[in-house]
Structure formats: C-alpha cells, structure tokens
Amino acid sequence: MIIDILNSKQDIAGTNIRRAMDSLIEENGREAFPLFSGNEVTFHTTDERIINTSFSAVNPDADLVIIVSRHSSVNPVPVLTVHPAGNYGEAQLGGNDYELALCAPRWMKAVLQNHAKFVPGGYRVSYEITHHGLTNYPIPSFFVEVGSTEKEWNDEKAYTAAAKSVLYAKPDDEAIPLIGFGGTHYAVRQSAIAENTKGAFGHMMHSRDVKNITKEIILQMSAKSGGISAAHIDRKAMTKEEAARISAVLEELEIPEITEGELEKINHMSYASWKKYTKFAGEIDNRLKIHPHGEISDGVPSKIELPPELINLAFGKDDSVLMSCLDELGDVFHTTGKNGELMPIFLCEEKNREKISVALIASAVQYITRTQETVMEGSRLTVIHRKFDPGLARTLGVPSGPLFGKLASGKAVTLADGREILPEMVTAVTKTTINIPGKEK
C-alpha cells in the first residue's frame, strides 16, 4: 500500500506535525513505526491552502492520503482530532457541493486510538463529523488535526502526539466499518464507540443535517466509506421522528442498524460470528436478544432450550448464579425476550452443545435443591412450596392481626378459647414437577 502524508506551508499545525514526524523517523528509523510495515510512505508539502489542494500535489500512485493540519473552532478547545472530508450541503470550505470524499474508517480508528494513547494532559480526543473539502480525490483520504488555536498548533507536546498517532497507526482487520448519524461537531458517541469497541466510523452526520436525510446521501456515505458493515444512530441526539426516518431508509437500503450495546458485545467475537448468531436467533424468534459470555468461536450455531419452569424456578428471582455459570463456561449466549426477561434459550457452537446443556441443567438443579424443598424421582424433580394461607387461618377462627404474623413465621399460636393452632394447619402446599432433560438416560 502506498500512503502519502500531505501538509500545507500555510498551515502551522500541519507543518509542525510533519516536522515532528521527520524528527521521530530520523531519531528512531522507519522500522520503529507500524506505518512503514508493509507500506510505502511518501511525503508532500503544498503551497496551497490545504482544503483547496488538488490531487496533483500528492503521490499519483498513492492508495491513501493522510492530511495533517490545524483544527480551528469558534468555540476553541485543546483537542486532537480525526475526520473525513465532505459537504452535506453547499461547500463553504473547499470541495464540491453535496459531495463526500472517499475515506478510510479502519485507518481513522487506528489514529483516533493512538490519539487516546499519546494525548498530552489538558487535551481531549475526538472524531469530528464529516465537514469541508477535499472531496474529489479518487482515493481515500482523511484529516489528522491539532486544535484549536495558535497556542495548541505550536504546542510541541500536542503536534508530536499527532505525529506519533500517524506513525504508530496499524489498522485492525477486525474493525467494523460504520457510518454514523447524530451528535455535535465533536462526535462524542462515535468517538467513545471507536475507542471502546470494534466500531470504526467513516462518514458521520451532524444532528442538524439529519432533517435533510435522503436515500442518495446515505448511499454516498456508505460508498465513500469504502462499503460499510452497518450504521449507528445516536438516538439521543435527534427527535424520534428523525431517528425513525433514518431507520426506514436504512431498512430500505438493506443497511443493518447497530447499537452501541451490540458493538460492545461484538468485542467478544468476529463480526461474522455476530451476524451468524443474530440471524440464527431471529429464525428462532425475532424478539430474542443475545448476550455473549466469554470469547465466541466461529462455529456452527446451535440451540439449547431448557424447560421454562426449570429456568424460572432456579433463576427467575436472581440470575447471578446462572450468569456466573455462563461466564465460566464461555463461548455461549443467554437470551432475553422483548421486555428484557430471561428466556430458557441458549445459543452455542454445535460441538459444545451437549457439554453446555449438561452444565446448565446441573447448575439449575443444584441451585433449586439447595434453596428449595424438593423431591427427586427418576427424571422428575418436584419442588414443594409451603405458604401461610390466611383463608385457612380464618376458617379455624384465627383473627387477623399479630397471630397471622406468628403463624406465617412458623410459630404456633393459642386462641382465646384455648385451642392451639400449629403452622402446618394453616399452610397451603403446592407442588411443581419438572421433567429434567437427560436424567431419563
């Protein structure tokens, strides 16, 4: 891959970042930096303003252009940023109207994560949403910037950190290319997602622009991000109506929508495995939500369905024992229903199905027999429930009040007429019998 690093003589921060890169390379050698591993890296400096630089100013054989420059803002904050170029409306600062640049989500994520690693004290780290030129390069490009005033542009710690962020960039093939909708100029949610999950954003749209969303814009966001895997909507940053409209267009274009919570789950597996298991769960019941435990292998999905009464009696009131068991087993999903309720369905790799099924049944039975009154006969587990029955107590002449409390706590009481009422005389007994899978063998 041929990577061209571009800066402008008119840009103080860009010039400083480039100078810091030269110094670091001279001091440590190119082999010290991942950027040069398997890549040919060239450097170009333009006399033009960076947002107006034509493609003729860069290496004509380049596959990627990384533009180092300054960031300025009407509300200046010390910041290291990464962003794609593009205009969702009329071009105000370079580029063409309604045109987005080709960008490189995995490379942008790699630089952003390095920003978080090298950032000096007092600076924040952030994506910026898609804005300004350059938009018409025939290859992917993105901006790496230091902001937001001349003080920060000349801060050696800041521009050296930006230089290191580029030199140490090493894209992760497991990163999931995304497009994003919603948020302010500093894409807070998208930045957090990229730093903490496998999500890697390409083009991102400010909340103020979502009202003008069209199918054509979303198609361009996707195509110019190199072909994305899914889209993320920051629903808290827009109205319900705006979010619903974006969702409808995404569905029409068959672009999957993905939540931050789902991206956090995918940290435990490949995106291919996530898609495989979500599809499998949807075929069982499209209301199922899946929750991974441990690292998920990329095998053939299989379903374990246990008796609902077994799961409810064992873990209906407190599922912490079940979650601990699943965490220990690993390579398994528990599922929840539409309203977040625990379901008796578990997903795992086909080859692990019997082992996990046996472990789950054993955990449930052990917990029930340890905490409840039970009788085991062959494959049938009977759980006996004893409960104070106010109706029986009244029939025997026990007045409501303190005597009810004593009987309910297991103490005998004596009535005014001298009769002794024992707790078992006013106890209702119910039994629940469950057939335990596998016990019949």
CATH number of the domain at 98, please: 3.40.630.50
Same domain, 248 and 150: yes
Same domain, 399 and 363: no
441 belongs to a structural domain: no
Burial of 173 (0-12, 13-18, 19+ CB in 10 A): exposed
Same domain, 274 and 402: no
Question: In the structure, what pLDDT confidence band is assigned to residue 440 with cuts at 50, 70 and 90?
Answer: very low
440 belongs to a structural domain: no
pLDDT score for 245: 95
Q: What is the largest CA-CA distance in the chain?
A: 108
Q: Using DSSP, state whether 336 is helix, strand or coil.
A: strand
Same domain, 233 and 350: no
Question: In the structure, what pLDDT confidence band is assigned to residue 75 with cuts at 50, 70 and 90?
Answer: confident
- Quote the domain boundaries for residue 425: 380-435
Nearest to 371 by CA among 361, 385, 356, 360: 385
pLDDT score for 441: 44
Whether the pLDDT of residue 219 is over 70: the answer is yes
209 belongs to a structural domain: yes
Nearest to 108 by CA among 274, 226, 264, 20: 226
pLDDT score for 438: 67
- pLDDT, one tens digit per residue, over 148-177 is 999 999 999 999 999 999 999 999 999 999
User: Residue with structure tokens 């919570």?
Assistant: 261
Same domain, 238 and 142: yes
Residues written for the chain: 441
Same domain, 320 and 400: no
Whether the pLDDT of residue 37 is over 80: the answer is yes
Tell me what percent of the residues of the chain surpass a pLDDT of 90. 85
Average pLDDT value for residue range 62-70: 98
Single residue among 338, 371, 404 that ends a domain in this structure: 371
394 belongs to a structural domain: yes
Q: Beta strand pairing status for 413-414 and 420-421?
A: antiparallel
Of residues 208 and 440, more confidence is placed in: 208
Cα–Cα distance for residue pair 427/77, rounded to 1 Å: 70
Total domains present in the chain: 3
Same domain, 147 and 254: yes
pLDDT score for 439: 56
Single residue among 371, 395, 421 that ends a domain in this structure: 371
Same domain, 397 and 341: no
The pTM of the full predicted model, rounded to 2 decimals, is: 0.83
Same domain, 276 and 384: no
Single residue among 206, 238, 265 that ends a domain in this structure: 265
27 belongs to a structural domain: yes
Same domain, 192 and 97: yes
Tell me what percent of the residues of the chain surpass a pLDDT of 70. 99
Chain centre to alpha carbon of residue 419? 66
294 Rama sector, left if φ>0, alpha if ψ -120 to 50, beta otherwise: left
Average pLDDT value for residue range 195-223: 96
Same domain, 207 and 62: yes
Whether the pLDDT of residue 83 is over 50: the answer is yes
Cα–Cα distance for residue pair 68/50, rounded to 1 Å: 9
Mean pLDDT computed over every residue of the chain = 94
Burial of 430 (0-12, 13-18, 19+ CB in 10 A): exposed
Same domain, 89 and 42: yes
Whether the pLDDT of residue 410 is over 60: the answer is yes
Q: Which residues contact 372 (CB under 8 A, 6 or more apart)?
A: 313, 383, 384, 385
Nearest to 17 by CA among 144, 108, 111: 144
Question: In the structure, what pLDDT confidence band is assigned to residue 22 with cuts at 50, 70 and 90?
Answer: very high
pLDDT score for 77: 94
256 belongs to a structural domain: yes
The mean-pLDDT minimum among 18-22, 39-43, 162-166, 429-433 falls in 429-433
